[in-house]
Amino acid sequence: PLLSPSPPAFNLSQEGLVPSRRLGNVRGAAGPPSPPGRRARPPAPGAGRLSGAAREELRRRLLGLIEGHRVVIFSKTYCPHSTRVKELFSSLGVDCNILELDQVDEGASVQEALSEITSQRTVPSVFVNRVHVGGCDHTFQAHQSGLLQQLLQQDPAYDYDLIVIGGGSGGLSCAQEAAVLGRKVMVLDFVVPSPRGTAWGLGGTCVNVGCIPKKLMHQAALLGQALTDSRKFGWEYSQQVRHSWATMTEAIQSHIGSLSWSHRLALREKAVTYVNSYGEFVEHHKVKATNEKGQEALYTAAKFVIATGERPRYLGIPGDREYCVTSDDLFSLPYCPGETLVVGASYVALECAGFLAGLGLEVTVMVRSVLLRGFDQEMAEKVGASMQQLGVRFLRKFVPVEVQQLERGLPGRLKVVAKSTEGTETIEGIYNTVLLAIGRDSCTKKLGLEKIGVNVSEKTGKIPVNDEEQTSVPYVYAVGDVLEGKPQLTPVAVQAGKLLARRLFGGRSEKCDYVNVPTVVFTPLEYGCCGYSEEKAGEVYQAENLNVYHTLFWPLEWTVAGRDNNTCYAKIICNKLDNDRVIGFHVLGPNAGEITQGFAAAMKCGLTKQLLDDTIGIHPTCGEVFTTLEITKASGLDITQKGC
């Protein structure tokens, strides 16, 4: 064989240069390559005749390919001189990136562009570390003189081994791991203020405006419920209990500040350069960093990781940016939001609505379609029902069309005009605060990715990557919420970033496993899940091949407190065709996150219904209900609880 194993070939597409795993496996291949000594069929009429703009774009992509790889060989499968050059690099143990010009539709145009760049009209055309070595004869002469070895040993003079753009959980995880492995690393992080002017420090969404403050405010609301329950347990207090929003936010922001400082200290201890500037690619391997004063600096690196995350989406209606807040603003809001309209039915929307209601505020949730899209819909409706029991009002099938300010103030008064999604009905409501939680947009639009050819989904703004988090530009990687089709969760980004650094710089091969990732929705009654929803399991495995075990349950803590005995719910989805393996786990109840975490590990190990049955539960706990499940949905038997 010519090369064994075959080095990666490259597919020159309109979107950029995309790695192809097998030599010759490229778009536009006409079939098996012509044997040595025979010419391939001529290009179709008109091939190679590109417009000026198209020719310039092709030239840019070619330079990007040359810029981004150690060795690039432009070749033709039937050319014996190309074969000799490829065999030479194979004998040297050097990985080559090969573009077979007779196997791509625009091969003639590529060869013409190459001749303009190099003044060489034939193949092979060899580049080593961005230096044009030449054709077959020149390459062998360079090898005999030692020049080729010198070029192969040279590393381009980059400022850093790795620059991470984005200082959130995934970016910091990757940067610190790379530094531990001895690499020179920079982190560029800059928070563009929200329309309300809110900004924050190092640490990304999770630390500053996501998981951490959300869970703490959730806890504040649970303490309020515990106060109510405590009277039934004998606690007597006559003083009226009130909640102070200012005290809570001050304490939470103080904790967040300490976490942000800890991140900065960790970077310093690991000798990672942290620059509070906005990173933007200006050319291959080079970024421009702009700080809050508009001062610019240029940095280069051998590799880059995009970890810029997402920001809340706005409705695009009159008054939304002027008068509404998002999760970017809520957790540091300097005043109690008062009566609040939450627009959206995402987990962010329901979590925020839940803790605001738990703090004693009047809360309305406006829902365009379904609750918790993408989650198990039976569980989602049970979450909604549990929130309604706590006094949260739901406006279904409506969307806002205008927000007007009636009174200035902290919080002030707003009028919201909304329209039905199912007809012409229009309604109005008066609120102190309007919180938008309708989704998030990836922060990829102003990074200069188009200048270096990184593919970005036009529909979602997210970055497609392969199973090693590599983008369409081989030296650029991405982790976290900017990835196309991956779970948008902090622990996922942390794991992916750490493993990416180990593969790039530590000689490791482990990849991030995006299957069976557990998560929890921190509504007042928490919802934890891992694996398939019932709907998705039915699509993948067919409903007749599934056993769905379920039950309602009554936490012991709720009995004395007199809380409802048929609200909490447990469900597992099992694949009959695979020994009743558990492929979906769902629980609605107190501390669902803690319960789900343990069972997620068991699912990684291949948990089956029989293994659950063989497990002795811890009594009295909520988690033990999964060791005693007996009723399937198909049986139609009653699952309501009559006693403890």
What are the pLDDT digits (tens) for 320-338? 999 999 999 999 999 999 9
pLDDT greater than 90 at residue 378: yes
Tell me the backbone φ, ψ of residue 257, rounded to 5 degrees. Answer: -60, -40
pLDDT tens-digit readout, 533-553: 999 999 999 999 999 999 999
518, 529 in Cβ contact below 8 A? Answer: yes
Q: What is the DSSP letter of 532?
A: -
pLDDT greater than 80 at residue 6: no
Beta strands 440-442; 433-436: pairing state: unpaired
Alpha-carbon span 437 to 416, nearest angstrom: 15
Strand stretches in 82-129, DSSP E: 97-100, 125-128
**Residues acting as catalytic residues:** 619
pLDDT value of position 613: 98
523, 354 in Cβ contact below 8 A? Answer: yes
pLDDT greater than 50 at residue 176: yes
The SS3 call for residue 597 is helix
Which of 18-27, 223-232, 514-523 is the least confident region?
A: 18-27
Which of 51-65, 177-191, 484-498 is the least confident region?
A: 51-65
pLDDT tens-digit readout, 11-42: 444 333 333 322 232 223 333 343 433 333 44
Beta strands 286-290; 296-306: pairing state: antiparallel
pLDDT greater than 60 at residue 45: no
pLDDT greater than 60 at residue 523: yes
CB atoms within 10 A of CB 449: 21
pLDDT value of position 131: 86
Measured in residues, the chain has a length of 644
pLDDT value of position 387: 98
Question: What distances in angstroms separate CA 557 from CA 391, 524, 553, one per listed residue?
Answer: 21, 15, 12
Q: b/e map of 570-609 (b: 16 or more CB within 10 Å)?
A: bbbbbbeeeebbbbbbbbbbbbbbebbeebbebbeeebbb
Alpha-carbon span 104 to 27, nearest angstrom: 6
pLDDT mean over 407-413: 96
Alpha-carbon span 144 to 137, nearest angstrom: 11
Question: What distances in angstroms separate CA 64 from CA 474, 564, 593, one per listed residue?
Answer: 10, 64, 46
Which of 8-12, 79-83, 162-166, 509-513 is the least confident region?
A: 8-12
- Please, which residues bridge with residue 343 across strands? 366, 436
Tell me the backbone φ, ψ of residue 343, rounded to 5 degrees. Answer: -100, 120
Alpha-carbon span 477 to 454, nearest angstrom: 10
Q: What is the DSSP letter of 508?
A: -
612, 539 in Cβ contact below 8 A? Answer: no
- Stated pTM of the model: 0.79
pLDDT value of position 157: 81
CB atoms within 10 A of CB 426: 11
400, 418 in Cβ contact below 8 A? Answer: yes
Largest CA distance in the chain: 99
629, 550 in Cβ contact below 8 A? Answer: yes
pLDDT value of position 482: 98
Beta strands 286-290; 278-283: pairing state: antiparallel
Place of tokens 């593919």: 455
Alpha-carbon span 506 to 183, nearest angstrom: 10
pLDDT value of position 379: 98
Confidence band, pLDDT 50/70/90 cuts, at residue 156? low
Alpha-carbon span 189 to 291, nearest angstrom: 10
Which of 383-392, 397-406, 635-644 is the least confident region?
A: 635-644
Average pLDDT, the chain: 91
